[in-house]
Amino acid sequence: MNKLIHIGFGNLVNTSKIIAIVSPDSAPVKRMVQRAREEGSAVDATQGRKTKAVLVMENDRIVLSALLPETIAARAGAASQGESGSGVEAQ
């Protein structure tokens, strides 16, 4: 069963496809984001707000979120434990 978590502004991601959730502040992550934007493999879910988390996905895509990495990680943890809240079950 796939679980979807809310990453802000009505956007959801599949928790089983997340490899890492990182802060966008370091130079290597900034380069990774810029390269993904150039290649068209970045999904911007920030709605114009500051990027606070970068989700590295299984399919060589990255997702940019305006939520803090800790918030997304807590939601992913709750979804994997089957708790309700910000997780949604996908079929």
- pTM of the entire predicted model: 0.88
pLDDT per residue of the chain (91 residues) written in tens, 0 to 9: 789 999 999 999 999 999 999 999 999 999 999 999 999 999 999 999 999 999 999 999 999 999 999 999 999 999 888 775 556 666 5
| Angle 13-35-25 from CA coordinates, rounded to 5° | 70
What's the rounded Cα separation, in Å, for the pair 68 and 18?
15
Residues with Cβ < 8 Å from 23, sequence gap 6 or more?
29, 52, 53, 54, 69
Give how far the C-alpha of residue 19 lies from the chain's centroid of Cα atoms, to the nearest Å: 10
- Through-space distance between the first and last CA atoms of the chain, rounded to whole angstroms: 7
